[in-house]
Amino acid sequence: MTTTAPQPATGEEEKRSWVPMVGLFLAQVLMSFNVAALPVSLGGMVEDFGVPPTVVSSTIVVYGLAVAALVMTGAKLGQRVGWVLMFRVVVAIFACSSLLMILSPTVGWAIAGQALAGASAAIIVPALVALIAENYRGAQQATAIGTLGSARAISGMSAFFIGGALGTLVGWRPVFAIVLGLAVLVFVFSFRLRGDRGDAGIRIDLVASVLIGGAIVLLTLGFNNLNAWGMFTATPGAPFHLVGLSPAPVFIVLGIVLGQTFFWWTRRRMASGKTPLVDLSVLGEPSERAAVYAMFIVVSLEAALNFTVPLYIQIVQGRTPFDTSLAMMPFNLTVFITATLIVRFYSKYSPRTIGVFSFTLTTAALVWLSFVVTNNWETLATIGGLIVFGIGQGALVTLVFNVLVTAAPKELAGDVGSIRGTTQNLASAVGTALVGALLVTILSVNIGRAVAEHVELPEELVAQVNLDDVNFVSNDELRTVLSETSADDAQVEAAVQVNEEARLTALKRGLLILAGISATAILPASRLPRYRPDEIPDPAPVAAAPPK
């Protein structure tokens, strides 16, 4: 039986065991390892399931989609039922999702497994903030919240290294056996957690749940299918069209409309004194809105890079998952070290200063990479760019998390946790989907232009290769396709050269566009608060507004 821990006397600080925090730390590792394992498994799943990489990337997208769509509802459900009980239930469900990944016969089963994992994480994400506040106070609480950023970074690093080694030597499925083992450990440690029984009087606003869930689903589906369905005109692969218009931009517009309706409905409900799905007062200050925007940008950039590098190394270059882990090691190691050590600078520099400096670093690093990157990721210039980007990324991951959880009063911590989860996972889904569509679009334009400039590639050959369905392929795969056409040796080599040049140009331009996105966050980062974060709020239900 779990009970609310008694409060220490005024002026005293109760020291509690760190054993419960081990379980919460591993829960963050569980979610982050699962997400980081997906890109490094990209090549293995493409080969195993026989589908394009953009289809496999749907596993990444659907996970973030499920979390973002359900996290606000999950936060209220946790408050109603009780955080400890809900935490145990969803960790068990997460374990089931890893079994689906291990045993999946088709990519559809893998996508379903990640949807189940995302639905579980929708409750784990706000539960981490709530359970830390339930179990720790004062300096221990500040230390505990800081470890979550480190957990996210170290799990990303270990997933790329361990996943790369296993993917090369054994296969991609054993990677998710590690996820299963982590879930079992978290479940065991959960019995050391303290928590209350929940409040059955809390009402869940189902209208708001449907509105925000529908908005996020439409937004993510729209962005994720810009390439497959068409950015404007519907492609043959689109499920339907509206007078020739692609459903992708239509979904995006409808998602924005539903999102605006959600905010209108929530304000109306709050004005009438009813309990909202999320209290919008947590976004009342410019500094709080700046923190949310900063989190969206930094997570989307991280997702974009974590998709782009494995795509080029495994699919374009045809190298192993272990090569991917080695190429990403400088970035992931730097993120881990920076996320761990950045808290030491909070006493000297404000979140505003750290945020502006970090976004300047990420922007400069992406611009640098766009000029120096080649098809060989092991060059010193490329490694240096990844390290600089990792410094900015690691600082921002921990910073914006601390700002968000310290910006609101204690009674609104559950709302802050749900907003953080929605923002973070929607950004991850949109970042992965958008960079995939962006790179394929640039690649299509590059190949079309290059074909027109290479007279040694006749129109008959171009028609046989079917350039209307351009995607990222290795030189060996291209040679295999061309061997079944009328192309001679000279034409094959010319086509391979076109493919190499088009891919590299797409990568460079894609990185430059990501640098522009990073730059848009520098000014909003200047609105981050000046205080030194040292304690997270206590996620208790709002007492001043009884549920109706």
Match 């090691």 to its residue by tokens: 329
Q: Which residue has the higher pLDDT, 168 or 514?
A: 514
Euclidean distance between CA atoms 34 and 29, whole angstroms: 8
DSSP 231-243: SSBPPTTSS--BT
Distance between CA atoms of 231 and 226, rounded to whole angstroms? 5
Instruction: Tell me which amino acid residue 431 is.
Output: G
Residue 367, SS3 per DSSP: helix
Higher pLDDT pick, 466 / 126: 126
* CA–CA gap between residue 111 and residue 320 (Å, rounded): 23
User: Which pair of tokens denotes residue 488?
Assistant: 């001679």
CB burial of residue 196 (10 Å; 0-12, 13-18, 19+)? middle
Query: Token pair 């190691």 is at which residue?
Result: 333
257-269: average pLDDT:
93
Distance (Å, rounded) from C-alpha 498 to C-alpha 503?
A: 9
pLDDT for the residue 432: 75
Residues 6+ apart with CB under 8 A from 260: none
pLDDT digits (tens, 9 = 90+) for 165-198: 787 778 889 889 999 999 999 999 999 887 667 7
In contact, 506 and 328? CB cutoff 8 Å: no
What is residue 149's predicted lDDT score, i.e. its pLDDT?
Answer: 67
Which residue(s) pair with 245 in the sheet?
Answer: 233, 242
pLDDT of 170 reads: 80
**Which of residues 468 and 296 earns the better pLDDT score?**
296
pTM over the 0.75 mark: no
Q: Give the distance from CA 138 to its chain's centroid.
A: 30
Collapsed DSSP state (helix, strand, coil) of residue 245:
strand
pLDDT (0 to 100) of residue 503: 74
Q: DSSP labels for 283-349? A: G-SHHHHHHHHHHHHHHHHHHHHHHHHHIIIIIIS---HHHHHHHHHHHHHHHHHHHHHGGGGTTTS
Greater pLDDT, 482 or 73:
73
pLDDT, the chain, mean: 78
Query: If pLDDT is split at 50, 70 and 90, which confidence band does 406 have?
Result: low
pLDDT category of residue 260 using cuts at 50, 70 and 90: very high
Q: Which residue has better confidence, 367 or 280?
A: 367
For the cut 60, the answer to whether the pLDDT of residue 447 exceeds it is no
Q: Which two tokens stand for residue 74?
A: 């999950």
pLDDT at 95: 95
Q: What pLDDT sits at residue 239? A: 86
3-state DSSP assignment of residue 199: coil
Burial class (CB in 10 A: 0-12, 13-18, 19+), 237: exposed
